[in-house]
């Protein structure tokens, strides 16, 4: 924001903090406040990542919303209606070998995603590639670990479908 103000020759005044960017000391103070805010944001981000890593290491799920499951007391519990959609997606893709056709078939059956959206090739691909459905958790799509939740599909179906994808 301060960059835009300076670029457009706009003066920033805050009576509460006694800042007026028309003088050098106030400008310096604004930059110091900005740096402190950036450091705080970075620290918060690092703490969240560490907490998520710890959850992952303990076998806990790090996702918030996953089609096929409900999050109850920080545990993934199968949502039977949505789990049937996941099974349909894997089985259909196994037959069609095509994300787009699989999405079309889901939409023709009136299936919707977790937030009520229609399916697209990209959402089908995301589901097909997600190991959560065969009982595993992943951390930033880099590390995989057995989860505490029940699988919706078998590992063999997951592997078969992903050997096609």
- What span, in angstroms and rounded, lies between the C-alpha atoms of 94 and 75? 29
- For residue 119, the model assigns a pLDDT of 98
- For residue 115, the model assigns a pLDDT of 93
Distances (CA, A) of 22 to 6, 9, 13, 25, 64: 10, 10, 8, 9, 46
Residue 52 burial class via C-beta count within 10 angstroms: exposed 0-12, middle 13-18, buried 19 and up:
middle
Four-CA torsion 141, 147, 151, 156, nearest 10 degrees:
60
Return the CA Rg of the chain: 24
Contacts of 102 (CB under 8 A, 6+ apart): 89, 92, 93, 96, 119, 121, 124
- For residue 141, the model assigns a pLDDT of 66
Q: What is the pLDDT along the chain (165 residues), one digit of tens a residue?
A: 777 877 888 888 878 877 888 888 887 888 888 899 999 999 998 888 887 778 777 767 777 789 999 998 888 999 999 999 999 999 999 999 999 999 999 999 999 999 999 999 999 999 999 999 999 887 776 778 888 899 999 999 999 999 986
Backbone angles phi, psi at 154, to 5 degrees: -80, 155
Mapping DSSP to helix (H, G, I), strand (E, B) and coil, where does residue 56 land?
Answer: helix
pTM of the predicted protein model: 0.69
Contacts of 73 (CB under 8 A, 6+ apart): none
Give 111's Cβ-side CA count (13 Å radius).
24
């Amino acid at each position: 924001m301060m960059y835009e103000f300076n670029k457009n020759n706009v003066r920033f005044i805050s009576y509460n903090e006694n800042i007026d960017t028309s003088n050098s000391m106030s400008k310096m103070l604004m930059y110091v406040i900005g740096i402190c805010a950036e450091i705080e944001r970075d620290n918060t981000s690092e703490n969240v990542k560490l907490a998520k890593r710890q959850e992952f290491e303990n076998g806990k799920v790090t996702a918030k919303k996953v089609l096929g499951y409900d999050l109850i007391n920080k545990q993934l519990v199968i949502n039977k209606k949505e789990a049937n959609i996941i099974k349909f997606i894997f089985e259909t893709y196994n037959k069609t070998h095509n994300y787009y056709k699989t999405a079309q078939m889901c939409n023709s059956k009136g299936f919707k995603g977790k937030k009520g959206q229609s399916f697209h090739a990209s959402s089908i691909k995301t589901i097909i590639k997600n190991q959560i459905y065969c009982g595993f958790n992943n951390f930033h799509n880099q590390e995989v670990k057995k989860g505490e939740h029940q699988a919706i599909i078998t590992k063999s179906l997951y592997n078969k479908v992903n050997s096609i994808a």
